[in-house]
């Protein structure tokens, strides 16, 4: 019985071991499958990231190349055929073909990333001219997509947010009616600002979508309206959701819902384009209905009161067809040499290069918000959406049609969406008077200074013209009191750098303004053939004097195209009132030297000082001998002169001579 019991235990143990082994084997197989699935998921995630980067490269190409060129593999895409990832070695293949549905207006793109165990494929659509910014000047006639320079316009300092990769806004944003009211600028947790769409469908659990980020203090903005001519386009206000405002590169342009016009079927939307500092490029308006995109993408811009002045800066009415350059934004500033100054050519002419938006600059309607500043004098940024009339009209005829449409628009009061315009009857848009044409010159260093003929290449430089602003200074002292600077160079100096044939720079620091006691002369610099706008500011550091005119010491010049005269600078003694001009008389002054030192008056400038204001005497070169000897001066001074006033000998060491008697125009004085 004991043996039988021991045998039973042994058999029982063997059975238990077998059961355990089977169970452990199952667990091992399950764990192995889990590890395999996890590894595959991580590889897929990495492959998707690689594919998304190639898609973003392709979207960048669409800003510089025509679709026909991209489809012909010029440039080659995908950029890489193989990538060594952190987990796998991946192989890339892709293709771009014309869309079978939309002919030449759309292209379908596909990218496949493969590795040993699998592959992922991403598809996208690119639109002819949607992102095209040919770097061509305003009023150009070349076809879009034909950019020979292969240059993508600067993106500026902003980046697309996590919820808008490559500029693809989430559907919840694009399908929203009034987009402006549901986006806001917020401070980023790590510094900088971000543009956020807030979905508050569930007020207790709002969801935020990050659309755009910028590491600076404030976004730059361009604001305007898109007006739809219903009689031409037959697009009803209920279709406002199909209007898309797009920038040529990194920027987000939310728009409002439709503003209808009483007694008319026309309507308009407002838009706000947000950018980082440094952006420049194009803004386009799309009627995003695939079957009708070409038909309704004609635009009309400009001021109906302007005529064509023959330059790229003209604001005359201009018809923009689907294959024309879209409204372009570009500024020009002096070529800066890092750490040195401004670059000039071998002849000493300063060079101008393309530059973008200043941080926080706001162009267009409404008020500036935190960290921003309104740009004054830039005009409006409005579009009209039109349908081209039949009969194959010429370019001039289309411009005339555009002018007629613009001139008939008058907007009654309405509540707007721009900052400061949301109150009843506070809407900013009233008409197309003051509207920009198809090229907008951005303000750079306080001046709008774009060449009359915009260089076709974004990287091209243009020489600068130098204009002078000169004027007189009215003051009693013969020594300079006034300092002058320009808004272009507020420090008052410019570093002029010349590069020799070996690429070496030679820089000199030069004053931008020079002053004497009776005049000022400033140089302002504009791109060749361009006008200059800005201001000059006069200041005095001596607390005994102030500037009476111009008001605040500043004079503004809205537009100059050559050398001009500035306003007379009037200097008065502190405490005096502007406009007070004391009556002056000519005095004969006899000074007695009671010291044991002889003074050579050639070393001094002589003044009569009345109520802290110095009035110049006729400069003397006489020797003022010691021990009671006299010297005679002739001086102009106010008729109120008395013994409370004094004579000043202005030299290395000033001497103050006491007036002892005033009798008519005869004055006696002694020192000490």
Residue 128 has pLDDT above 60, yes or no: no
pLDDT of residue 37: 44
- pLDDT band of 637, cuts 50, 70, 90: confident
- Token pair in block for residue 421: 């315009």
pLDDT at 456: 64
Average pLDDT, the chain: 80
Helix, coil or strand: residue 151: coil
Q: What is the model's pLDDT at position 615?
A: 81
For position 643, what pLDDT does the model report? Answer: 92
3-state DSSP of 445-457: CCEECCCCCCCCC
Give rounded-to-5 percent helix, strand, coil for the chain.
15, 40, 45
Q: What is the pLDDT of residues 259-279, one digit of tens each?
A: 999 999 999 999 999 999 988
Q: Rounded to whole angstroms, how far apart are CA atoms 161 and 188?
A: 11
Q: Across residues 131-140, what is the average pLDDT?
A: 26
Q: Hey, what are 415's tokens?
A: 């509540």
**Helices and strands (DSSP H and E) totals, the chain:** 5, 44
Listed range (136-150, 224-238, 501-515) with the worst mean pLDDT: 136-150
Element (H, E) at 443: strand 439-444
Tell me which of 67-71, 269-273, 633-637 is least confident: 67-71
Q: β-pairing, 439-444 with 554-560?
A: unpaired
The CATH number fitting domain 584-671, selected from 3.30.1370, 3.30.70, 2.60.40, 1.10.3470: 2.60.40
Choose from 143-152, 263-272, 456-465 the range with maximum mean pLDDT. Answer: 263-272
Task: Tell me what the mean pLDDT of segment 405-413 comes to.
Answer: 94
∠ CA 13-14-15 to the nearest 5 degrees?
Answer: 90
Given a cut of 80, is residue 297 above it in pLDDT?
A: no
Query: Peptide bond preceding 75: is omega within 30 degrees of 0, i.e. cis?
Result: yes
Give the start-end residues of each E strand in 475-604. Answer: 482-486, 493-499, 505-511, 513-515, 519-527, 532-540, 545-549, 554-560, 564-565, 569-573, 584-593, 599-600
Nearest to 161 by CA among 120, 193, 132: 193
What per-residue confidence (pLDDT) applies to 132?
28
pLDDT band at residue 458 under the 50/70/90 scheme: low
> Which two three-digit tokens encode residue 598?
């002889």
- Whether residue 244 is predicted with pLDDT greater than 80 in this model: the reply is yes
Region of 156 please: left (phi>0), alpha (psi -120 to 50) or beta. left
Under DSSP, the state recorded for 190 is T
State residue 26 phi and psi, 5-degree precision: -65, -40
Could you tell me which residues come within 8 angstroms of residue 141 by beta carbon, excluding any fewer than 6 positions away? 324, 395
DSSP bridge partners of 668: 590, 661
Provide mean pLDDT across the span 58-73. 69
Percentage of residues in the chain with pLDDT exceeding 70? Answer: 81
Distance CA 344, CA 352 (A): 9
Residue 294 has pLDDT above 80, yes or no: no
pLDDT reading at 153 higher than 60: no
**Other CB atoms closer than 10 Å to residue 68's CB: what's the count?**
14
- Compute the average pLDDT of residues 150-174: 71
pLDDT band at residue 63 under the 50/70/90 scheme: low
Q: Are 537 and 485 in contact (CB under 8 A)?
A: yes
494 to each of 37, 355, 449, 615, 651, how far by Cα in Å?
65, 19, 17, 34, 31
> Which position has the higher pLDDT, 553 or 454?
553
pLDDT of res. 106: 64
If one compares 439 and 135, the residue with the highest pLDDT of the two is 439
Residues 575-627 have pLDDT tens digits of: 677 766 677 889 999 999 999 999 999 989 888 888 767 788 888 889 999 99
> Residue 502's pLDDT band (boundaries 50, 70, 90)?
low
Phi, psi for 227 (deg, rounded to 5) = -100, 130
How many C-beta neighbours within 10 Å does residue 359 have? 19
Cβ neighbors of 596 (< 8 A, separation 6 or more) are: 626, 627
Tokens at 525, concatenated: 């610099």
Q: What are the residue boundaries of the structural domains of the chain, listed by start?
A: 1-128, 158-448, 462-573, 584-671
Query: If pLDDT is split at 50, 70 and 90, which confidence band does 3 have?
Result: very low
Q: What is the DSSP string of 217-240?
A: SS-EEEEEEEEE-HHHH---GGGG
Whole-number pLDDT of residue 221: 97
Q: What is the pLDDT of residue 17?
A: 53
Whether the pLDDT of residue 252 is over 50: the answer is: yes
H or E segment at 657? strand 655-663
pLDDT value of residue 98? 78
501 Rama class: left (phi>0) / alpha (psi -120 to 50) / beta: alpha
Angle 553-558-562 (CA atoms, 0-180°, nearest 5)? 100
């Amino acid at each position: 019985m004991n043996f039988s019991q021991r045998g039973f235990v042994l058999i029982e143990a063997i059975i238990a071991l077998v059961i355990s082994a089977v169970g452990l084997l199952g667990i091992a197989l399950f764990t192995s499958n889990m590890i395999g699935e996890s590894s595959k998921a991580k590889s897929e995630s990495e492959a998707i990231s690689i594919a998304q980067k190639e898609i973003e490269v392709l979207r960048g190409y669409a800003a510089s190349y025509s679709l026909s060129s991209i489809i012909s593999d010029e440039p080659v895409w995908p950029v890489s055929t193989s990538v060594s990832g952190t987990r796998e070695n991946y192989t890339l293949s892709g293709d771009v073909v014309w869309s079978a549905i939309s002919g030449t207006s759309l292209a379908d793109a596909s990218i496949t990333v493969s590795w040993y165990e699998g592959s992922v494929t991403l598809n996208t659509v690119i639109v002819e001219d949607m992102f095209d910014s040919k770097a061509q000047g305003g009023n150009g006639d070349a076809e879009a997509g034909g950019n020979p320079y292969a240059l993508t316009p600067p993106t500026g300092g902003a980046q697309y947010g996590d919820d808008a990769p490559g500029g693809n806004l989430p559907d919840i944003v694009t399908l929203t009616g009034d987009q402006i009211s549901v986006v806001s600028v917020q401070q980023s947790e790590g510094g900088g600002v971000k543009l956020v769409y807030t979905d508050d469908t569930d007020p207790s659990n709002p969801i935020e979508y990050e659309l755009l980020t910028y590491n600076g203090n404030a976004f730059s903005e361009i604001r305007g309206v898109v007006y739809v001519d219903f009689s031409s386009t037959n697009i009803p206000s209920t279709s406002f959701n199909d209007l898309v405002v797009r920038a040529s590169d990194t920027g987000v342009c939310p728009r409002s819902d439709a503003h209808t016009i009483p007694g008319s079927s026309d309507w308009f939307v407002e838009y706000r384009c947000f950018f980082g500092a440094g952006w420049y490029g194009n803004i386009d308006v799309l009627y995003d209905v695939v079957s009708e995109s070409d038909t309704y993408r004609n635009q009309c811009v400009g001021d109906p009161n302007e005529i064509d002045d023959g330059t790229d800066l003209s604001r005359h009415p201009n018809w923009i067809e689907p294959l024309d350059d879209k409204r372009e934004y570009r500024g020009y500033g002096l070529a800066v040499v890092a750490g040195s100054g401004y670059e000039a050519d071998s002849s000493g002419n300063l060079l101008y290069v393309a530059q973008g938006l200043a941080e926080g600059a706001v162009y267009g309607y409404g008020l500036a918000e935190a960290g921003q500043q309104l740009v004054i004098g830039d005009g409006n940024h409005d579009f009209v959406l039109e349908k081209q009339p039949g009969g194959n009209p010429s370019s001039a005829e289309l411009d005339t049609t555009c002018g007629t449409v613009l001139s008939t628009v008058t907007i009654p009061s309405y509540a707007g969406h721009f900052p400061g315009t949301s109150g009843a009857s506070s809407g900013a848009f009233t008409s197309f008077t003051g509207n920009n044409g198809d090229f907008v010159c951005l303000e750079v260093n306080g001046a709008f200074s774009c060449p009359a003929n915009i260089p076709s290449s974004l990287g091209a430089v243009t020489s600068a013209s130098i204009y002078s602003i000169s004027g007189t200074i009215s003051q009693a002292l013969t020594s300079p009191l006034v300092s002058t600077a320009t808004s272009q160079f507020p420090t008052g100096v410019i570093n002029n750098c010349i590069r020799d044939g070996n690429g070496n720079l030679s820089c000199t620091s030069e004053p931008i303004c020079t002053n004497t006691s009776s005049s000022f002369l400033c140089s302002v610099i504009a791109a060749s053939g361009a006008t200059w706008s800005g201001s000059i500011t006069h200041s005095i550091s001596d607390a005994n004097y102030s500037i009476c005119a111009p008001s605040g010491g500043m004079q503004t010049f809205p537009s100059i195209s050559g050398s001009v005269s500035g306003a007379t600078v009037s200097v008065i003694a502190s405490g005096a009132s502007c406009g007070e001009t004391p009556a002056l008389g000519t005095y004969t002054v006899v000074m007695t030297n009671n010291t044991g030192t002889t003074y050579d008056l050639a070393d001094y400038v002589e003044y009569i000082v009345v109520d802290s204001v110095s009035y110049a005497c006729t400069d003397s070169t006489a020797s003022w001998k010691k021990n009671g000897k006299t010297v005679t001066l002739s001086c102009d001074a106010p008729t109120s002169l008395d013994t409370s006033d004094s004579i000043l000998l202005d030299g290395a060491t000033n001497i103050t001579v006491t007036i002892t008697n005033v009798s008519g125009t005869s004055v006696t004085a002694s020192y000490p």
